[in-house]
Copies of this chain bind each other. A is one copy, B any other.
């Protein structure tokens, strides 16, 4: 049985309300609404939410959909630095710079809540807990980046891909989706860019993980058969004492 375009569409539309709360929860948003205009913004697949160099004016909370952020160098080098989904706060990396430092691109039709930044800063003065939340969100971002640096710096291609799948599975679980069965929203090239690998290498690693019986993969559809094995490869397994 193979996956058809229709299957993709059906799976993509399976977007139930998550059972666990996102990082910036509804309570925060309600409080924010009392202090500023929260603008709903929709973007289609392929469109940019913001681009490096554009004036920084707002943070965004991803409400639905899937996006990637891309770092780019003056000489044309470019790398995906993260994938964003519901509950992720984006744009924080550009605070204090005056302009966005990277691109944010929708990989599928998405909806974001735009939080104009000066009002956010003002609201933080009124709501100390919001300030703490924002600071914590920034710190978490640093920790996530550092963990990926560690993974990219110390894991082989195959283990990096395993770590990626494990991370995707965990994030899905956090949002109330199945961590055992999901559709990757990005292509092999974007995965590779994020993992500092070429797309052929990503393909080979996926094939190998399937060969080992840890997953099944058909184009973008992934089933995780052995979570523990993935975790072990990712370096997240139980330590041996």
Contact = CB atoms under 8 A, between A and B. Distances in A.
B132 A81 contact: no
A209 to B, nearest CB: 18
Interface stretch (A31-39, A92-100, A167-175, A199-207): A92-100
A162 B73 CA distance: 16
A29 interface: no
Contacts of A148: 149
A205 to B, nearest CB: 16
Given A97-B143, A101-B143, A143-B93, A81 B138 contact: no
Contact of A152 (B95, B149, B193, B235): B149
B150 A73 contact: yes
A33 to B, nearest CB: 21
A199 to B, nearest CB: 14
14 contacts: A73-B235, A75-B235, A78-B154, A81-B149, A92-B142, A93-B143, A94-B139, A95-B136, A125-B128, A135-B138, A138-B138, A142-B142, A142-B145, A152-B196
Interface size class of A (residues with CB under 8 A): 35 or more
Given A71-B150, A149-B145, A139 B92 contact: yes
Interface in A172-191: none
A128 B238 CA distance: 44
Interface in A130-163: 131-132, 134-136, 138-143, 145-150, 152-155
A213 interface: no
The secondary-structure label for the interface of chain A is helix
Nearest to A196: B153
Interface in A43-69: none
A15 to B, nearest CB: 29
Contacts of A101: 143, 146
A79 interface: yes
A213 to B, nearest CB: 22
